[in-house]
Copies of this chain bind each other. A is one copy, B any other.
Amino acid sequence: MKPIKVTVWNEFRHEKINEKVKKIYPDVMHAVIANSLNKAEGIKAVTATLDQPRHGLTDKVLENTDVLIWWGHMAHNEVADEVVEKVKTKVLEGMGLIVLHSGHFSKIFRSLLGTNCSLRWREDGQKERLWNIEPAHPITEGIGEYIELPHTEMYGERFDIPTPDKLIFISWFAGGEVFRSGCTWQRGHGKIFYFRPGHETFPIFHDPQIIKVITNAVRWAKPTIMKKDSCPNSPALEKI
The tally of residues in A whose CB lies under 8 Å from a CB in B reads 69
Q: Are B121 and A234 in contact (CB under 8 A)?
A: yes
Contacts of A224 in B (CB 8 A): 136-138, 141
Secondary structure dominating the interface of A: loop
Contacts of A118 in B (CB 8 A): 229-231
Residue of A122, A233, A240 ringed by the most chain B CB atoms within 10 A = A240
Interface membership of A20, Cβ < 8 A: no
Contacts of A103 in B (CB 8 A): none
Question: Which residues A78-104 have CB closer than 8 A to chain B?
Answer: 88, 92, 94
Q: Are B176 and A122 in contact (CB under 8 A)?
A: no
Binds B, one of A8-16, A42-50, A65-73, A124-132: A124-132
Q: Are B163 and A237 in contact (CB under 8 A)?
A: no
**Cβ-defined partner of A175 (8 Å) among B133, B231, B236:** B236
Distance in Å: Cβ of A176 to nearest Cβ of chain B: 3
Closest to A130 in B: B178
Q: Report Cα–Cα, A156/B145, bound state, in Å.
A: 11
Q: Mark A169-193, 1 if CB is under 8 A from B, else 0.
A: 0111111111010000111111000
**Residues of A with Cβ closer than 8 Å to B?**
88, 92, 94, 105, 111-116, 118-122, 124, 126, 129, 131-138, 141, 145, 154, 156-158, 160, 162-163, 165-167, 170-178, 180, 185-190, 223-225, 227, 229-238, 240
